[in-house]
Structure 1
Amino acid sequence: MEYKDYYQTLGVDREASAEDIKKAYRKMVRKYHPDVSKLKDADAKTKEINEAYEVLGDATKRAAYDALGRGHRPGESFQPPPDWGEQFDFAGAGAEDFFADLFAQAGRRAGHRGGAGAGGRNGDFQMRGDDIHAAITIDLRDAYQGATRTVSLRVPRRQAQGRTVMEEKTLSVNIPRGVTPGQQLRLAGQGHEGHGGAGAGDLYLEIQFAPAPRYRVEGANVVENVPVTPWEAALGGSVSVQTPSGTVEVTVPAGSQSGRKLRLKGRGIPASPPGDLYLILDVVLPPANNDKARALYQAMARDLAFNPRPA
């Protein structure tokens, strides 16, 4: 029989949540329904979509499909291992779809071999559990200091009776100092459970940073906007700046303009190698909201005769 990639049919990845699969299914049905679609193959396409959702929309069927179909390509010929269907409760699957055929073949092969009865397992088939990929959001300060965070995941778990149920798993995760956006943390053995006594897969958590009004993260480098007064920018001087690693004294060169970039080497995320901290100067004008302030601005206009828009 030929392997069908139901994830590809619905246009979702293998780690998609149940809600994402449902949304994708509804979107595809609206697009290809024969009543609205003008495509010649709308009927066939709708049937494929319904078949894919019948499997991926059911936690038990999806767990079996993931475990058995891993590593196969669409259209590739393959055979299910003996007694595989006995590990799952798949009653009610449509008699004509790929999923029912798959289990039917497993059952026929087990019968020819004199396999175990319902609920039994042939110990000669083993498969390592699938890995889980998820994201974890941390604060920038966590990357500087390290932290411990708690994550909760819903994963399928096979009961002793052979049924697969969704179970919430809570884990304590150590965030090491120096992590950067997109980096993945691996938690060995915390993925989907294996089959036939094989080991569980791993959990991979991709690091994401929560938005921070004052900072922007670019790899291991950090960019910070620093407001300065007109006289600090014009005359130069030392200003105190609050950075993710603490307060530092920074020298503003005389004659600085808004947008000037100052580099603090090694003050970025303490990765390997450590990143840099870039300070972008932002000249902020005091408001002319009283007589004295307006008089000072008028004196500057008169005495400096400065024109920022030369001809």
Structure 2
Amino acid sequence: MARDYYDVLGVGRGASSDEIQAAFRKLARRHHPDVNKDPESEERFREINEAYSVLSDPDTRRRYDRFGEDFRDVPEDYDERVAAGAGARGGGGYAWTGAGPGGDGRRVRFVSDFGDGDEGHGDGSGVDFEDLFGGLFGRGGARARGPVPGADQEAEIRLGVEEAYHGGKRVITLSGPEGPRTYDVTVPRGVVDGQRIRLAGEGGRGSGGGSSGDLYLRVRIKPDSRFRLEGRDIHVVLPVTPWEAALGATVPVPTPGGTAKVTVPGGSSGGRRLRLRGEGMPNPRGADGDLYAEVRIMVPPKLSDRERELFEQLAADSAFDPRKPG
């Protein structure tokens, strides 16, 4: 289900018009793209505008409270049609199958007078609202209530860390009520988990000449064995030898953009984090993230005779005791 408009504005269902307007102004100032450079500010601002446009109009708000996210699909003379249908012996009537926002029902059904009004279709009388009015009342109904824009829709797109880092063209296929559909998607460089990609006009179809809604692809970053993301910062494990950790060295470190170099200071212990500024996820609207390489000291799995000799000599000559306090 689409996000509840009251939740979008952060107000209760009993909020007054003044409270709704005040909440909108506060959020609009905070999320306006000219002020907020966060990648999702434009989409958040659009969501806030949509919620306000519905809740600020008393008639539209009443319909939304009653019918929920499908309020645009219900004809304005719905009650008259219910009354007319219910009084026709052997005919049919309209029945709403659930409550408004937060309820389970989100469709209108055409129900026979001989049935009990539930959603069973054993007698073949159940007809989806969209199919029913598309055939019987599509043209006249559309003219009666004017153009109705289609609803926005949302789906998920799963990306690897390197795919998200570089961005680029992708072809995806999504399943829908009319079968699978294929989309050409431009993934912006540096998208992060939870960010949305907008496909204009690819959402629900409008009626009566109304424009189609948009399709939003919610990005989900797949787990990666090398890279761990925290926002735009990337964390990697940096294996080093005991002598590199003790003496210091410049060693290669993997990044989604390719191999970089990092200087390991002498005397580095395991767990030390080395920061590479700007080597994290790109940010088209601000500073790039950083990359953090965590030192992990590795020893040879099998020592040669010479290596064993040298380690034994070091053990005999060194007074270092990592377990000794101070």
Using the size of structure 1 for normalisation, the TM-score is 0.61
Higher relative contact order (CA 8 A, sep 6+): 1
The gaps in structure 2 that reach 5 residues or longer are: 4-61, 82-93, 95-106, 121-125
Partner of 1:268: 280
Residues 104-134 of structure 1, C-alpha deviations (whole Å, 9 max, x = no match): 9x9xxx9xxxxx9677632222432221111
Residue 240 (str. 1) matches residue 252 (str. 2): yes
Structure-to-structure mapping, 1:155-166, within 5 angstroms: 155-156=176-177, 166=178
State whether residues 263 and 277 of structure 1, in contact with CA within 8 Å, keep that contact through their aligned partners in structure 2. yes
Give the Cα separation in 2 of the matches to 1:95 and 1:188. Answer: 42
SS in 1 for 2:180: strand
Structure-to-structure mapping, 1:44-123, within 5 angstroms: 71-73=64-66, 80-82=75-77, 95-97=115-117, 121-122=140-141, 123=143
The 1:96–1:80 alpha-carbon spacing in structure 2 relative to 1, beyond 3 Å, is farther
State whether residues 200 and 214 of structure 2, in contact with CA within 8 Å, keep that contact through their aligned partners in structure 1. yes
The 1:209–1:117 alpha-carbon spacing in structure 2 relative to 1, beyond 3 Å, is closer
Partner of 1:124: 144
Partner of 2:321: 307
One-letter code aligned to 1:97: G
Structure-to-structure mapping, 1:1-311, within 5 angstroms: 13=1, 71-73=64-66, 80-82=75-77, 95-97=115-117, 121-122=140-141, 123-125=143-145, 126-156=147-177, 166-271=178-283, 272-273=285-286, 274-310=288-324
The 1:120–1:266 alpha-carbon spacing in structure 2 relative to 1, beyond 3 Å, is closer
SS in 2 for 1:213: coil
**What's the CA shift for 1:197?**
2.5
Give the Cα separation in 1 of the matches to 2:67 and 2:181. Answer: 32
Give the Cα separation in 1 of the matches to 2:231 and 2:136. Answer: 56
Give the Cα separation in 1 of the matches to 2:292 and 2:155. Answer: 31
State whether residues 155 and 192 of structure 1, in contact with CA within 8 Å, keep that contact through their aligned partners in structure 2. no
One-letter code aligned to 1:150: V
Q: Aligned pair count?
A: 222
One-letter code aligned to 1:124: A
Residues 210-249 of structure 1, C-alpha deviations (whole Å, 9 max, x = no match): 2211111111111111111111111001112222222222
**What's the CA shift for 1:98?**
7.3
State whether residues 152 and 168 of structure 1, in contact with CA within 8 Å, keep that contact through their aligned partners in structure 2. yes
Residues 44-88 of structure 1, C-alpha deviations (whole Å, 9 max, x = no match): xxxxxxxxxxxxxxxxxxxxxxxxx9833589xx98533787xx9
Q: Percent identity?
A: 39
SS in 2 for 1:231: helix
SS in 2 for 1:143: helix
State whether residues 287 and 293 of structure 1, in contact with CA within 8 Å, keep that contact through their aligned partners in structure 2. no
The 1:253–1:119 alpha-carbon spacing in structure 2 relative to 1, beyond 3 Å, is closer
Give the Cα separation in 2 of the matches to 1:256 and 1:146. Answer: 36
Give the Cα separation in 2 of the matches to 1:269 and 1:247. Answer: 14
The gaps in structure 1 that reach 5 residues or longer are: 1-12, 16-68, 111-115, 157-165
The 1:289–1:118 alpha-carbon spacing in structure 2 relative to 1, beyond 3 Å, is same
Residues 184-217 of structure 1, C-alpha deviations (whole Å, 9 max, x = no match): 1111111111223222111111111122111111
Give the Cα separation in 1 of the matches to 2:174 and 2:228. Answer: 29
State whether residues 111 and 117 of structure 2, in contact with CA within 8 Å, keep that contact through their aligned partners in structure 1. no
SS in 2 for 1:155: coil
**What's the CA shift for 1:254?**
0.6
